[in-house]
Amino acid sequence: MMNDASGKLSTSAKAAPVPAIPMFEIATQYQGLRWEIQNAVKEVLDSTEYIGGATVKRFEEHLGRVAQAQAVAVSSGTDAILAALMALGIGPGDKVITTPFTFFATAGCISRAGATPVFVDIDPSTFLIQTAAVAAAITSGVKAVIPVHLFGQMCEMDALAEVCGKKSVMIIEDAAQCIGAKDSKGRIPAECSRAACLSFYPTKNLGAAGDAGAVLTRDSALAQRLLQTRQHGETSRYHHGFVGGNFRLDAIQCAVLDVKLNYLEKWNTRRRSIAGYYSQRFAGTDVIAPAQIPNTHHVYHQYVVRIPRRDAVRDYLQQNGVGSAIYYPKPLHLQECFASLGYHAGAFVNAERACGEVLALPVFPELTDAQIARVADVLLSFYK
C-alpha cells in the first residue's frame, strides 16, 4: 500500500520500500479469510450472475440488518454520495453545507450534482463540522448538509438534526469512515438523516476487494428511488423517469463484503483497543491524542494525532520503519478546482491548522501488540 498525492491510501503496487510497520496492509486479513472469500467469489463466478441477483440482495439484506436501515449497494463511497444527492433531487441552484476537512469526494459530489458546496469550519479538537457554524451558514438556497463522521467518530446527530429540522434542510451523512460507530446518544448512521453513505474502499473498516459503497436509509420510498438512481433512473425496463447513473455494485464485491461483514465488530473492537493503547501512551506528552466525545462509540478508521513539527516526525517514523499518513494535507476550500467559490486562506482556521498538524498512525486490526508498542515507542523517542 502507498499514499497517493491526495494522502489517500492506494492499492498500487509501485511504492516506496514498505516500512517494517506499514500504515496499512490487507494481506494478513486476507490470508485469514482466504478460503471463505475464495469460495464466496467462486460461487458467483459459477452462477454467472455477475450483475444484480441473489448475491447482491443477500449482502444488502445482511448490511441492512447490521445497520438497521435499508441498504442499497453501489459502486463506491463516492457514488453513494452522488446517488444520494441525485435521488434527493439536489442540483443546480442548490447549496449544500459541508466541511473543508474531509476526503475530496464529499465536496466533489456536491459539485458533480450541479449544486454549490458551502464550507464551514471544524471543531479543532474533534475535527468534526461545527453544528453552530452549520446553523449560521443556513441561508436561502441551502438544501442539505453533509456532515462527515471523520476518522470513525460520529458528529452529534441530535444537535445537527435539530438545527436542520427547524430550517427544513436535509441531512445526508458521509459515513464513509464510520461503519459500526454510534454518537454519544447511541445514534447510528441513517437514524437522524435522509441517508448515510458508506465506502468499502479496501482500507476502510469494512473493505471490499476493489471499489464499493452503499447508501443506507430508513425511508423506503427513498430506497426505491436509490435503486432506480443506480440503474440510470430506470422506473420500468427501458423507461427512464429521471436521469441516474450506472452505480451498481458487482456481485463479486457483494460476495466478499458479505463474508467480511461477519468480522466487522471484532475488527472495530481491535481498532478501539489499539487507539486506547496509543492514547494512554501519549497522555501528558507532546503528542496530542485524538479527542473522543464522551460516551461516543468511535470506530477509529484512523487514529490521528496532532503534533508539533509534523513533517519532521513523519520522516523520523519512516526512517525507523513506522508508516504514517497525512489526512488531509490541504483543505477543500483551498483546492484549485474550487477557486471559483471565492474562499481564501484564513477562511477556516481550524481546518487549515489541522492540515498542518495531523498525522495518522497505523491502526488496522491485524497489528500485533508488539507493533503498536513499537509505533508509540518510536514516536515518543522523537521528542526525547
Which of 3, 55, 70, 102 touches ligand PLP (CB under 6 A)?
102
For position 101 contacting ligand PLP by CB under 6 A, the verdict is: no
Which of 3, 29, 70, 76 touches ligand PLP (CB under 6 A)?
76
For position 99 contacting ligand PLP by CB under 6 A, the verdict is: no
Residue 324: what residue type?
Answer: S
Cis check for the bond before 300: say yes or no (omega within 30 of 0): no
- Closest distance of CB 218 from ligand PLP, Å: 21
- Closest distance of CB 364 from ligand PLP, Å: 15
Which of 2, 7, 3, 120 lies closest to 356 in space, CA to CA? 7
- Closest distance of CB 360 from ligand PLP, Å: 12
Q: Are 291 and 125 in contact (CB under 8 A)?
A: yes
- Closest distance of CB 106 from ligand PLP, Å: 5
For position 105 contacting ligand PLP by CB under 6 A, the verdict is: yes
- Closest distance of CB 148 from ligand PLP, Å: 5
Residues 6+ away with beta carbon under 8 Å from 166 = none
Dihedral angle, C-alpha 123, 125, 127, 133, nearest 10 °: 0
- The stretch among 42-50, 74-82, 241-249, 285-293 that binds ligand PLP (CB under 6 A) is 74-82
Q: What is the DSSP letter of 360?
A: E
Cβ-based nearer residue to ligand PLP, 119 or 201: 201
Q: Are 263 and 30 in contact (CB under 8 A)?
A: no
Residue with grid cell 445537527, as numbered in its chain: 160
- Closest distance of CB 69 from ligand PLP, Å: 18
Which of 77, 189, 244, 362 touches ligand PLP (CB under 6 A)?
77
Tally Cβ neighbours within 10 Å of residue 46. Answer: 8
Separation in Å, CA 352 to CA 80, 196, 243, 302 = 27, 26, 37, 19
C-alpha cell belonging to residue 198: 458508506
- Closest distance of CB 208 from ligand PLP, Å: 9
Radius of gyration, CA atoms only, the chain? 20
For position 253 contacting ligand PLP by CB under 6 A, the verdict is: no
For position 201 contacting ligand PLP by CB under 6 A, the verdict is: yes
User: Looking only at residues 163 through 182 of this chain, which bind ligand PLP when binding is defined by CB under 6 A?
Assistant: 174, 176-177
User: Looking only at residues 107 through 166 of this chain, which bind ligand PLP when binding is defined by CB under 6 A?
Assistant: 148
Helix, strand, coil % (nearest 5) of the chain? Answer: 40, 15, 40
Cβ-based nearer residue to ligand PLP, 106 or 126: 106
- Closest distance of CB 109 from ligand PLP, Å: 8
Q: Are 357 and 307 in contact (CB under 8 A)?
A: yes
Which of 213, 323, 362, 365 touches ligand PLP (CB under 6 A)?
213
C-alpha cell belonging to residue 336: 484549485
- CA angle centred on 82, ends 147 and 219, rounded to 5°: 70
Q: Are 199 and 301 in contact (CB under 8 A)?
A: no
Cβ-based nearer residue to ligand PLP, 201 or 343: 201
Q: Site size for ligand PLP, by CB under 6 A?
A: 16
Residue ranges in contact with ligand PLP by CB under 6 A:
8, 76-78, 102-103, 105-106, 148, 174, 176-177, 199, 201, 211, 213
